[in-house]
Amino acid sequence: MSWRDRIAEVFSPRQDTARQLIHAEPTAPASVRLLAQVVNRIDSLVNTMTGLGTAADKGQAGRPNTLRTRLTIEELTALWRWNGYARRYVALWPQAATRKGWRVVDDTQTVDLMEAEDKRLNVVERVRDAATWARKDGGALVLLVTTEKIPPAYSSNPQAYLAEPLDLDRLISVDNLIVLDRSEASVWSYDGDPRSQNYRQPLIWQVSPSSPVGNDALFCSRVHHTRVLYFPGAKLPPSVKTNVGDGYDDSAIESVWDQIRGLTSSDQAAYTMAQEVQQDVLKIAGLAALETGDQQALFDLRMKTLAQSKGLLNMILLDESDQFETRTNAVTGWKDLKDHAREALAAVEATPQTILYGESPGGLNTDGESGHRSFSEEIAAYQHAVLKPRLVDLYRALFRAKEGPTKGKEPTWWDVVFNALDELSTMDQVKAEGEQVKADALRVEVLGMDPAHVLKSRHGEKGYQWDLLPVEGVEEIDTAIDVDAMDEAAAEAEAQAAAARDEQAAADEQEADADGGE
């Protein structure tokens, strides 16, 4: 056998040996079964001389850690309070997504149907807070505090009615929005109906808002999922969410924790190096004798006096045979490690360094512009995937409320439109308005639009607007239902049924008496 074959046999397991290991008995030691898995996984490149791609390759031992535990609520709160990188990453996306706000439009010429309701309920801040706590903890709720026409069956215990679905036909008003973090709400039961759009999701929530010390005014109740707006964190597969996540998703910090820890560790290493960049060296003649002889106590006192004089007086008292010097330790390579940690964190967070760290773009600013454009696209996707569905549910309830802005009448068509994320400079604004003037001129000349309507659309109560108002409004449909009439009809039907039962009972009694007489 040649020396090449001998080396190959050492570093590359034989196929029959690997096959035997792969089909090892279940009772085989764990180390043997693990080796079998490693042998079975071979990279596309194999080098028997260096061990690359073989069982001897150290890289083959790298496997995902299935025993890793998720960060606890206490740990996530500590990161939010005391780690600037984690806090900025959590808060950055909700702040960017809500900074410019949104508006509710329909087929009429009203610019923002829900502007007054947004101010009354402080909707923008509530949504921002809920999205922030959702990214921090893995989920958050917004509880709709409502006034409703409660059915007679729940008149003695109105709080129990919260476990029933929100009936928009009985909704009178939305009075408040309460943001609940993960520690204040838990899943009571799940939806087990496969035909439900909410299948495998929480059906009933147990909400317990935290109260200040000595204040027992807050409540604890079971609430139906239609009465809350659930804001998700980093989404989990359904099986993991229900079995491991307790109905909640993952924190946004969970998947980037390694990078946050690495960047924080590099900062701590820098602080340590800064403290040790200079080192004092004191040479004393006959040091060995001083440490072991009768003069040890005197030597210790001398060292303390020297340290005090250096710290207080910036002076050092030396004997003629002593020598003192300050050495500077060279710090090299740390900047490269720091830059790598910063780039890794920005990459996994899908956030450009110019935005994440507030850096100024370098060079010709091409990276800054492309990064900002990419980040805006990510935020727009976040707005439509996370924020918009919750806003639609909220505004539908506000439309259907009897004391709402539309008195219970929901428009046939309406939508939530997010305002533009980018802010134009004065020069860009002037150029954009100039192009819009040309487009409006074509609309008037070619399409025959009313110039007064175009002027009203562009220069309205809120200043210059980019969107044209609808030309004609569409008649709204009254979707409200008379709840009182429904209750009266139900009571009348129950009375008729009771009367029928009494008549039937009387007839049965007469028939029994007749049979007894015979």
Residue 162 burial by Cβ neighbours in a 10 Å radius (0-12, 13-18, 19+): buried
Rank 49-63, 242-256, 427-441 by mean pLDDT and report only the highest.
242-256
Of the chain, the percentage scoring pLDDT greater than 70 comes to 71
Band of pLDDT at residue 14, cut at 50, 70 and 90 = very low
CA neighbours closer than 13 Å in the CB half-sphere of residue 248: 25
Residue 479 has pLDDT above 60, yes or no: no
Residue pair 495/464 in contact (Cβ under 8 Å)? The answer is: no
CA dist 13 and 9 (Å) reads 6
Least reliable range by pLDDT among 69-73, 218-222, 237-241: 218-222
Tell me the sheet residues that pair with 176: 145
In this predicted model, which residue has the larger pLDDT, 413 or 327?
Answer: 413
Residue 251 has pLDDT above 80, yes or no: yes
Band of pLDDT at residue 473, cut at 50, 70 and 90 = very low
Tell me the sheet residues that pair with 204: 189, 224
DSSP E strand boundaries for 4-159: 102-106, 139-148
CA dist 241 and 247 (Å) reads 5
Is the pTM higher than 0.85? The answer reads no
Residue 474: predicted pLDDT: 37
pLDDT (mean) for 189-204 = 92
CA dist 356 and 495 (Å) reads 68
The sign of the CA dihedral 296, 298, 301, 305 is negative
CA dist 374 and 361 (Å) reads 15
The token pair that represents 440 in the structure block:
């409006």
pLDDT (mean) for 294-306 = 76
Of the chain, the percentage scoring pLDDT greater than 90 comes to 31
447: part of which helix (H) or strand (E)?
none
Residue pair 180/207 in contact (Cβ under 8 Å)? The answer is: yes
Average pLDDT, the chain: 78
CA dist 360 and 362 (Å) reads 6
The sign of the CA dihedral 151, 156, 161, 166 is positive
178: part of which helix (H) or strand (E)?
strand 171-180
Residue 133 has pLDDT above 50, yes or no: yes
Tens of pLDDT along 81-127? 999 899 999 999 999 999 999 989 887 766 678 889 999 999 999 99
Rg (CA), the chain: 36
Label the pairing between strands 221-224 and 139-148: unpaired
DSSP, collapsed to helix, strand or coil, labels residue 191 as coil
Rank 48-52, 158-162, 166-170, 318-322 by mean pLDDT and report only the highest.
166-170
Band of pLDDT at residue 268, cut at 50, 70 and 90 = confident
The token pair that represents 498 in the structure block:
């009771």
pLDDT (mean) for 367-387 = 85
Identify which of 95, 102, 100, 99 has the alpha carbon closest to the alpha carbon of residue 132. 95
Residue 17 has pLDDT above 60, yes or no: no
Residue 364 has pLDDT above 60, yes or no: no
In this predicted model, which residue has the larger pLDDT, 341 or 171?
Answer: 171
